[in-house]
Amino acid sequence: MSTYAVGDIQGCLAPLKCLLKDVNFNPAHDRLWVAGDMVNRGPESLETLRFLRSLGNSLSAVLGNHDLHLLALAYGHKTPSKGDTLDPILKAADREELIYWLRQHPLIHTDSELNYTMVHAGIPPQWDLPSALQYSAEVESVLRDDKRVSSFLKAMYGNQPAQWHEGLQGHDRLRIITNYLTRMRFCKANGELDLECKTSPEFPPKDYAPWFSFEKRLSHSNKLVVGHWAALKGVCKAPNVFALDTGCVWGGQLTLLRLEDEQRFQCDCKA
């Protein structure tokens, strides 16, 4: 059995299937981890969701910011953004089943036997892994709650509060947890976020740095599989951080990482 992790698919199903064929992926005994952003901007978002759902228990996926964007659209709390390719999902006959299926996914997935943890954006420097799992569970419980999910999605967007503290409550608390785990790139050592800058890590905003660069980051001993930051081009110099967003939807590559031996497999993508 092998476990493969893949970065941001974003509706680029053909490269994913090409990679899975290259490694002889068999869902009967292999496992696929997806580091969020399963959909949007690529040509086959609907087909990608259907394919991933068909993998059943052989799939472990976390939610990314584009997946949450789809949920906000589905509940009527967001208007489409330029470049969205989500209409086929929203108009599909199996829309409700797919949206429900998406809502069941976590923001963090961890496997103690493999000693890997997967999250879309990262874990802020002031959280250790147990704390991150505890906080992510707060958001996950709301996403899975039919009575609370809509109000959360309505209040989900925004860059404030910019820094975590334990006393945060309500939607402010859920929003910053979500922003850390699905949108973060640059922050300060205390976790204060800059969510505007999307450059490569060599050009951070003044007084900020990549979230993974802090020496006293509390999750430094945990192997983290992440996506989200295409400007990294799959290269992260921080130990134990495996960056897998290699810009497939922008004409780059889609990358598989076999967790057992850290071997990478890549497929070129057309923009």
Q: Which of 49, 66, 50 is nearest to 245 (CA)?
A: 66
Asked whether 29 and 248 are in contact (CB, 8 A), the reply is no
Question: Is pLDDT at 270 greater than 90 in this prediction?
Answer: no
Asked whether 192 and 161 are in contact (CB, 8 A), the reply is no
Q: Which amino acid is at 224?
A: L
Question: Is pLDDT at 256 greater than 60 in this prediction?
Answer: yes
The whole-angstrom separation of Cα 180 and Cα 237 is: 20
pLDDT digits (tens, 9 = 90+) for 117-137: 999 999 999 999 999 999 999
Asked whether 244 and 53 are in contact (CB, 8 A), the reply is no
Q: Say how many residues make up the chain.
A: 271
Q: What does DSSP assign to residue 214?
A: -
Asked whether 173 and 216 are in contact (CB, 8 A), the reply is no
Cross-strand partners of 109: 118
The whole-angstrom separation of Cα 185 and Cα 180 is: 9
The whole-angstrom separation of Cα 103 and Cα 156 is: 14
Helix (H, G, I), strand (E, B) or coil at 107: coil
Burial letters 150-180, b for 16+ CB under 10 A, else e: bebbeebeeeeeeebeeeeeebebbbbbbbb
Mean pLDDT of 150-155: 98
Helix (H, G, I), strand (E, B) or coil at 271: coil
Asked whether 73 and 102 are in contact (CB, 8 A), the reply is no
pLDDT digits (tens, 9 = 90+) for 57-110: 999 999 999 999 999 999 999 999 999 999 999 999 999 999 999 999 999 999
Question: Is pLDDT at 49 greater than 80 in this prediction?
Answer: yes
DSSP string computed for 22-68: HTT--TTT-EEEE-S--SSSSS-HHHHHHHHHHTGGGEEE---HHHH
All domains of the chain in start order, with CATH: 3-150+219-268 (3.60.21.10)
pLDDT digits (tens, 9 = 90+) for 187-237: 999 999 999 999 999 999 999 999 999 999 999 999 999 999 999 999 998
